Amino acid sequence: MPLGAKKSKAKQTADPLVGAMGGSGTLISVYPEELTFLFELEKPCYCNLKVVNNSEHHVAFKVKTTSPRKYFVRPNASIVQPWDSCTITITLQAQKDYPPDMQCKDKFLIQSTKVAASTDMDEIPPDTFNKEADKVIEEMKLKVVYTLPSCGGSDDSSVSSLGSRSFKAASDDLMMLKNASLEEIQTIQRLKEERDNMLQQNQQMQRELDVLRRRRSRKGDAGFSLTFAAFAGLIGLMVGLLMSLIFSSAPADA
> Cβ distance 185 to 76 under 8 Å?
no
User: Among the three residues 129, 147, 165, which one is the final residue of a domain in this structure?
Assistant: 147
* 115 and 182 inside one domain: no
User: Which residues have C-beta within 8 Å of that of residue 188, sequence separation ≥ 6?
Assistant: 162, 177, 180
User: Which residues have C-beta within 8 Å of that of residue 103, sequence separation ≥ 6?
Assistant: 146
The terminus-to-terminus CA distance of the chain in angstroms comes to 101
Q: What is the pTM of this model?
A: 0.53
E strand or H helix at 245, and its extent? Answer: helix 226-253
Give the C-alpha distances (Å, rounded to integers) separating 253 from 10, 157, 195, 226, 245: 96, 84, 63, 41, 12
Can you tell me whether residue 118 is helix, strand or coil? Answer: coil
* 96 and 55 inside one domain: yes
* 190 and 109 inside one domain: no
CATH number, domain at 43? 2.60.40.10
Task: Name the stretches of the chain with pLDDT < 70.
Answer: 1-23, 151-183, 185-186, 211, 214-232, 239, 243-254
Of the candidates 203, 184, 181, the residue with the CA atom closest to the CA atom of residue 192: 184
* 121 and 178 inside one domain: no
Residue 54 domain boundaries: 28-147
Residue 133 lies in a domain: yes
Each residue of 48-71: pLDDT tens digit? 999 999 999 999 999 999 999 999
Q: Are strands 77-80 and 58-65 parallel, antiparallel or unpaired?
A: antiparallel
Taking the C-alpha atoms of residue 240 and residue 245, their distance in angstroms, rounded to an integer, is 9
Each residue of 82-114: pLDDT tens digit? 999 999 999 999 999 999 888 999 999 999 999
Residue 245 lies in a domain: no
In one letter, which amino acid is 253? D
Residue 184 lies in a domain: yes
